[in-house]
Amino acid sequence: MAFLHKTPRIAPPPEGRTGILLVNLGTPDDTGYFSVRRYLSEFLSDRRVIESPPLIWQPILQGIILTKRPFASGANYARIWHKEENASPLRVYTRRQAEGLAERLRADGVPVEWGMRYGRPSVAKAVESLMDQGCDRIISIALYPQYSATTTATANDQLFRALMRLRRQPAVLTVPSFPDHPAFIRALETSVQDTLAGLSFKPQQIVASFHGLPKTCIEKGDTYRDECERTISALRQALGLSEEQMPLTFQSRFGPLEWVQPYTAPFVKALPAQGITKIAVIMPGFMVDCLETLDEIGNELREEFMEAGGEEFALVPCLNDSKGAIDLLEDLSRSAMAGFQRG
């Protein structure tokens, strides 16, 4: 393999220069069949996501799944597509988070770039841009509050792959997950309070829905469920709510394996029969709104709840580009920068 080298546009100063890299999951470039297929193929080919042997999994993926699923997924994306910017909400809000953080760090001379684990803009291009701006040190923040090998680890993998191709590598620090970081919990608390203040009804429950994970991943040592518990415990305490008032559930299950439970959809559909007909749903595992929050919960789950006898359903937005989100990212960045100074 030929190692890459590009003379940076701005040479690193003698004292060094730090840049911030935000890494999110990724998104199709548009809602068309081939764009969605490319994205799903990359995503579902990741061994961190699907651990089945490729010789068994790839014929299934490239045949049955990717023949049909891009049509359905494309229609789902179309329902939540950001028309003004012609991009998915995940791309729009990730970019805005990077821009907001860059503004906070501008006076410190710290550039900020963003990249996607799957799709564009790539992590490699973001690294190249930071190095071109004279950065010889990079702080990488994976935008997943709770650690999982399927999210945080694979984001780090992609960063390390980019570094493997470079002749001159920057020093890199990866920021740990932040499930109960005070700034994260404050931002969630504010989001809940602001949402409730704008409602015409009082929810009987605020259901917390995290992305699911196969149970086998937990059994093999993934700490994801424990970190979800840390988040919801801290948020309940901040809001003065009980476990019954803010239950923990898991969404987005697919395939035949058992996933961590309780599953969000069956849990929510059963609530009206228990006399709970007015609810709000918060998704504290997602830093920005995306297909899983706006469509799976905001559209599909809402419809299922109403059909089961529900009366009122509210969605608590993800942190997106709120002040609380930028406060959190600034706090994480500055804490990492303080421990990453050249001696």
Annotated binding residues = 211, 292
DSSP string computed for 243-275: TTTS-EEEE---SSS-BSSSBHHHHHHTTGGGT
By CB atoms closer than 10 A (0-12, 13-18, 19+), residue 104 is: middle
Locate 268 and state its tokens: 């929510």
Binding residues for Fe(2+): 211, 292
- Kindly report the number of other CB atoms within 10 A of residue 174's CB atom: 18
Distance, CA of 65 to CA of 47 (rounded, Å): 17
Distance, CA of 229 to CA of 245 (rounded, Å): 15
Asked whether 22 and 145 are in contact (CB, 8 A), the reply is no
Is 77 strand, coil or helix?
A: helix
- Kindly report the number of other CB atoms within 10 A of residue 327's CB atom: 19
Tokens 């579902």 belong to which residue? 44
Amino acid at 330: E
DSSP string computed for 232-247: HHHHHHHHT--TTTS-
Strand partners, 312: 278
Phi, psi (deg, nearest 5) at residue 280: -125, 155
Asked whether 50 and 44 are in contact (CB, 8 A), the reply is yes
By CB atoms closer than 10 A (0-12, 13-18, 19+), residue 229 is: middle
